[in-house]
Amino acid sequence: MAITSVKNLKEFSTNNDRFEGAHLLCPGCAHSMIVRELMNCTDDNLVISSNTGCLEVSTAVYPYTSWDTSWIHIGFENAATAVTGAEAMYKARKRKGTLKDPDAPVKFVAFGGDGSTYDIGFQWLSGAMERGHDFTYICLDNENYANTGGQRSSATPIGATTSTAQAGTHSYGKKEKKKDIVSIMAAHGSPYVAQLAPNKWKSMAKGFQKALETEGPCFINTVSACTTEWKFDPKDTIHVTDLATDSLMFPIYEIIEGHELNILYRPKNIISVEDYLGAQGRYKHLFKPQNRHVIEQIQKDIDDNWARLQRREEARI
Interface positions with another protein (CB under 8 A): 45, 47, 49, 56-57, 60-63, 65, 67-75, 77-78, 81-86, 88-93, 95-96, 98-101, 104, 106, 123-124, 126-127, 130-131
Q: How far is the CB of 176 from another protein (least distance, A)?
A: 25
User: Nearer to another protein by C-beta: 68 or 213?
Assistant: 68
Q: How far is the CB of 154 from another protein (least distance, A)?
A: 19
Q: How far is the CB of 93 from another protein (least distance, A)?
A: 6
User: Nearer to another protein by C-beta: 122 or 253?
Assistant: 122
Q: How far is the CB of 198 from another protein (least distance, A)?
A: 24
User: Nearer to another protein by C-beta: 133 or 312?
Assistant: 133
How far apart CA 253 and CA 238 sit, in angstroms, is 19
> Cis omega (within 30 of 0) on the bond before 102?
no
The answer to whether 166 touches 160, Cβ cutoff 8 Å, is no
For residue 39, give the 3-state DSSP assignment: helix
The answer to whether 218 touches 191, Cβ cutoff 8 Å, is yes
How far apart CA 48 and CA 214 sit, in angstroms, is 17
User: Nearer to another protein by C-beta: 131 or 284?
Assistant: 131
Q: How far is the CB of 298 from another protein (least distance, A)?
A: 34
The answer to whether 52 touches 88, Cβ cutoff 8 Å, is no
User: Nearer to another protein by C-beta: 108 or 283?
Assistant: 108
Segment (H or E) for 70: strand 70-72
Beta bridge partners of 261: 255
User: Nearer to another protein by C-beta: 72 or 256?
Assistant: 72
For residue 164, give the 3-state DSSP assignment: coil
Q: How far is the CB of 132 from another protein (least distance, A)?
A: 11
How far apart CA 204 and CA 212 sit, in angstroms, is 12
Sign of the torsion formed by the C-alpha atoms of 84, 90, 91 and 92: positive
